[in-house]
Amino acid sequence: MPQQNEQLLQVLEISINAMNSLYRQLAGSSHAVLLTDASGMILNCIRKSAKKHSFEQVDLLLGADWSDACEGSYGIDTYLALPITHKANWTSSAAIQ
């Protein structure tokens, strides 16, 4: 388990700059940048503080399971298997209001 935690910390450290850069490119939108593991568990989320409640309402929280098993055919893990050009287009019907 300690090795897994160390690997997770490394992934988070490596990804944070890219996530922040992508979030800045989306500035002014209602988008968030999520980092998940291969199974669809949310590891990190960058979004406007004002959107926190909206994200919590649809369970877009750190540690939340957004796999197909939990969210149906639009789970994040489905889109992780697609080419990277499609990942930016992912959304959940639960998140659309």
* pLDDT, tens digit (0-9, with 9 covering 90-100), for 8-36: 889 899 999 999 998 888 877 777 888 88
Q: Is the pLDDT of residue 84 over 70?
A: no
Q: Which tokens in the block code for residue 10? A: 């490394």
| Opening angle at CA 87, ends 83 and 91, nearest 5 | 145
In three-state secondary structure terms, 53 is: helix
Name the pLDDT band for 77 (thresholds 50, 70, 90): low
Domain extent listing, the chain? 2-87
What tens digit of pLDDT does each residue of 39-61 get?
888 899 988 887 788 888 888 88
Going by the DSSP 8-state scheme, the letter that residue 87 receives in this structure is: H
Q: Which tokens in the block code for residue 97? A: 């209001």
